[in-house]
């Protein structure tokens, strides 16, 4: 019987970001600056690993305070009522499949995973690296606010690209 190894996200070597089209012509990038997550794996390649992740909505950062405030409002995430987004899933092959919860909406999502491998750091820690990407529809999660310009362009696109660079440390 194989033993379960627990891993935790190393926040100083990880990044959680999203990209969304603005006015159809450019892309806005945002980050969640506060997040945590774990993986439980019984194999070195993480196949079948159970993954749990949470990001603090109030830590959203798009490099523009007014926009960040709008994203935290009820038009989008409603950080006051729903302080975290959450994900619970399982890694199989190069896909991470599971339930993403934003506000009070939970939907199954599938993300692409590139496993970078396992390595030791100079301090004796064992680390594992992953690049994770996927696309979601923000409207599936109740983030419905939008406006239309005079020319008829949508201000914020429905599709949101998720990009995570994650380093786990063996517990």
What is the DSSP secondary structure assignment for residue 68, as one 8-state letter? H
Question: Per residue in 112-155, pLDDT tens?
Answer: 999 999 999 999 999 999 999 999 998 898 877 665 545 554 55
Domain residue spans of the chain: 5-170
Question: Per residue in 52-106, pLDDT tens?
Answer: 999 999 999 999 999 899 889 998 899 999 999 999 999 999 999 999 999 999 9
Class of domain 5-170: mainly beta
Q: Is 57 helix (H, G, I), strand (E, B) or coil?
A: helix
| Residue 23, phi then psi, degrees to nearest 5 | 60, 20
Q: How many CB atoms lie within 10 A of CB 127?
A: 17
């Amino acid at each position: 019987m194989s033993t379960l190894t627990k891993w935790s996200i190393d926040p100083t070597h990880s990044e959680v970001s999203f990209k969304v089209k603005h006015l159809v012509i450019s892309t806005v990038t945002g980050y969640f600056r506060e997040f945590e997550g774990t993986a439980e794996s019984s194999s070195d390649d993480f196949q079948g690993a159970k993954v749990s992740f949470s990001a603090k909505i109030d830590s959203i950062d798009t490099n523009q305070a007014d926009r960040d405030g709008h994203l935290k409002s009820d038009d989008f995430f409603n950080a006051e009522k729903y302080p975290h987004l959450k994900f619970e899933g399982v890694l199989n092959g190069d896909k991470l499949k599971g339930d993403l919860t934003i506000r009070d909406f939970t939907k199954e999502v599938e993300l692409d995973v590139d496993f970078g491998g396992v390595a030791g750091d100079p301090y004796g820690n064992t680390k594992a690296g992953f690049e994770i990407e996927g696309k979601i529809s923000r409207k599936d999660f109740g983030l419905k606010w939008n406006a239309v310009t005079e020319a008829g362009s949508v201000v914020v696109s429905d599709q949101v690209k998720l990009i995570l660079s994650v380093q786990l440390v063996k517990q």
